[in-house]
Amino acid sequence: MLSMTYRTLTDLGAPFIGLYMLKRRAEGREDPKRFGERFGISKRPRPPGRLVWCHAASVGEAASILALIGKIRATYPDTHILVTTWTITSGRMLASRLPEGAFHQYMPVDRMGYVKRFLRHWKPDFALLIESELWPNMLKALHETKIPTALINGRMSTDSFKRWHRFKGWAEELVGDFVVTLTQTEEDRKRYTALGADPVRCPGNLKYTAKPLPVDEAELKNLRAAIGERPLWLFASSHRGEEKMAIEAHQKLRAKWPNLLTIIVPRHAVRGNEISEILSESGVATARRSNKEPITAETEINLADTMGELGLFYRLAPVVALGGSFIQVGGHNPIEPAQLDCAIILGPYMHNFSAIAREFVTQKAAIKLDKPARLAATVERLLETPAERAQYTGAARLLAEQKSHVLDDVLKELTPWLAPKTTTKSK
C-alpha cells in the first residue's frame, strides 16, 4: 500500500521534480553536460558482457568501495562496473580514481519512469547498494526485472530503525528481496534482521579498506616549503556554523603561537564565497586557495575551498578537527586522517559514524570532545606535546591496519553473484 502511494506521489510530482532539479543545476549542484542522467538518460553505451552496478550516495560512501571495485576488477577482469552517486563532488572524485573497466554515472531521481529507463539501458547483472540507499521505486524495479541485489556496508542508526519499524511491512518489502545484506556492525545486523532482511551478515566496515586519499606530490612539496616550521592545524570538512568555531579557536591559539597557520577545508567547496565573507568580517588575514592566493608569512587562515585535495591537507597537518561533528550533521570519516598520521579531534556529534568513533575513542586513536568550546585547548595540547600526539597517530594507524580482512570477507560473500548468474539467496 505504502509502495503504491509513494509511486503515485512521485509520478504526480514529475513537474515539481523537474523544477527542483533545474534549481539544483542553476545553483551549480548538477553537471549541466550530464543532466539527463538524473532522468535515466545516458549518452554512454552499455559495455558488452557482464555488468555490476554499485550505487553510493556521495563522496564518503563512494570512497569506501573503491578498494572493493578494484578487487572485483582484478578477480573478474571481464566484468565491467558501473558506479552511480548522487552528488557532483563524488562524480568528480570518481572520475580520477576509478580503475580501468569501471565508470561513473549519476543516479536517476527515484521516479519509476526514470529508474526503469535507467535499468533498461544498463541491464546490470548484479546490483550493489551501499550503506543505507533504500529508494523504494528503484528497489521495486530491480525486483520486477529480477536483477539480484545486495546491500553492502549496511548501516542503520537508532533513529532510522525506529522510523522504519513503524512501517515494518513496507521495510520488509524493501529489504526482504536482498540476496544478502552485509552490515558494518552487529548492531546494524540485528536491525536489518528485525526489519525482515535475510540473510544478514556482519563482515565489518569497508571504510577501513579504502586506500589513503591521493595527493599531488609536487603541490605537497610546494606547500611544505611555503609553510616551513610554522605550527599548523586543520579543520577538515567543515559545515555552516563550524567555520566560526575554527576562527575562534585560531584567535585563542594565536596568543600562544603568533605565527600559527589554520587551514579550513569546507565540506562543500561551493560555500567558498560565504566562508570568505565570514573570514573577512573576523579580520584574519586569509589566503583563498580557489583564487590561487599563496600562503605567505602574513597568512593566518588558508581557506582551501577546492575539491579533491583533502589528502594534501591531511598530509600537511599534524592535528585535525573533523567537521560535521561540532554541529548536528553527524560527523565524517576519521579513518581517512588516521591513515595519514593525523592526531584526530572529534566533536560531540558523530552519530553518522558512531561505531567507528566509538572504536577510535576506546583505542585512544582519537579525542572526542563533549563540548565544542574545548576545541582550542585540545588543539593546543596536541600541538605542544609531540609524544602524546604520536600516541594518538600510532593507535589510529594500527586500528585502520587491523581491519584489512574486511575486503576479502565481503568479496567472499558476494562471489556467488559476481561469478555465475543466479538469483538464489545465500544461506
Report the distance separating Cα 278 and Cα 247, nearest Å. 9
Report the distance separating Cα 20 and Cα 416, nearest Å. 40
Report the distance separating Cα 363 and Cα 255, nearest Å. 32
126-130: strand order across its sheet: 102-106, 80-85, 51-55, 126-130, 149-154, 180-183, 200-201
SS3 content of the chain, % helix, strand, coil (to 5): 50, 15, 35
Residue 120: the pLDDT is: 97
Residue 423: the pLDDT is: 47
Has this prediction a pTM greater than 0.75? Answer: yes
Helix (H, G, I), strand (E, B) or coil at 102: strand
pLDDT in tens, 137-175: 999 999 999 999 999 999 998 889 999 999 899 999 999
pLDDT in tens, 360-383: 999 999 999 999 999 999 999 999
Instruction: Indicate which residues carry an active-site annotation.
Output: 61
The helix (run of H) or strand (run of E) holding residue 51 is strand 51-55
Residue 137: the pLDDT is: 95
Residue 59: the pLDDT is: 84
Local mean pLDDT, 10-residue blocks, the chain (427 residues): 88 92 92 95 96 91 92 95 93 90 96 97 97 91 96 91 91 94 95 96 92 94 96 98 98 97 95 97 97 96 95 98 97 94 97 91 97 97 97 93 89 90 51
Helix axes 242-253, 272-282, angle to 10 degrees: 40
Going from the N-terminus, what domains does the chain have, and what CATH number goes with each?
A: 28-205+405-418 (3.40.50.11720), 217-401 (3.40.50.2000)
